[in-house]
């Protein structure tokens, strides 16, 4: 995927001296929100609720109540799903199927969001590198020397990270 930054032109700040580009970079949340429909918002809300302690407490009360009723605590006339609680088992199994589907939908949306974020980070890095190279040249710096120093620094940091993680150096 590729997300172009939008550019426009405006007049310069002093006496209208020529157009100056105004770079407006897309924001991850803006791009992500464009593809988010009602069904996606519903899946996210259900997943958020299912991952909360309120969900756990509701189920604790529900299961305790169900078991007490069906063990005859409120009289035999109230029993509707005697042990081994086949109806409860079926309902909980169906709930698990649907919840796992909602979780997968939310995970897929998070993966799409991560892709958007990675694409935007990559574009920002490329933009920064182009600007840095041009600024360096304008200042009379040697790009090859700066790249050599950068590669040395990256290699040193990579070796340090690998040694801290117990991996052999590359």
Residue-level pLDDT at 21: 64
Residue-level pLDDT at 6: 41
The reply to whether omega before 3 is within 30° of 0 (cis) is no
pLDDT in tens, 116-152: 889 989 999 999 988 988 899 899 998 888 889 999 9
Residue 136 within a domain: no
Residue 138 within a domain: no
Q: Domain range for residue 71?
A: 48-115
Q: Of 112, 17, 56, which Cα lies nearest the Cα of 120?
A: 112
Number of domains in the chain: 1
Residue 147 within a domain: no
Residue 32 within a domain: no
* pLDDT category of residue 166 using cuts at 50, 70 and 90: confident
pLDDT in tens, 5-55: 444 333 344 444 556 666 666 676 676 667 678 888 888 899 999 999 999
Residues in the chain: 170
């Amino acid at each position: 995927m590729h997300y172009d930054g939008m550019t426009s032109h405006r007049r310069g700040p002093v006496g209208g001296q020529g157009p100056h580009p105004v770079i407006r970079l897309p924001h991850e949340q803006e791009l992500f929100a464009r593809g988010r429909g009602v069904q996606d918002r519903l899946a996210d809300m259900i997943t958020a609720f299912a991952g909360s302690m309120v969900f756990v407490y509701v189920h604790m009360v529900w299961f305790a109540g169900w078991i007490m009723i069906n063990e005859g605590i409120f009289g035999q006339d109230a029993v509707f799903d005697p042990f081994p609680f086949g109806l409860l088992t079926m309902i909980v199994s169906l709930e698990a199927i649907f919840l796992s589907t909602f979780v997968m939908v939310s995970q897929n949306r998070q993966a799409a969001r991560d892709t958007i974020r990675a694409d935007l980070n990559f574009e920002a890095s490329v933009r920064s590198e182009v600007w840095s190279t041009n600024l360096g040249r304008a200042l009379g710096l040697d790009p090859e020397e700066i790249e050599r120093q950068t590669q040395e620094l990256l290699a040193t940091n990579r070796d340090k990270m690998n040694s801290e993680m117990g991996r052999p150096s590359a």
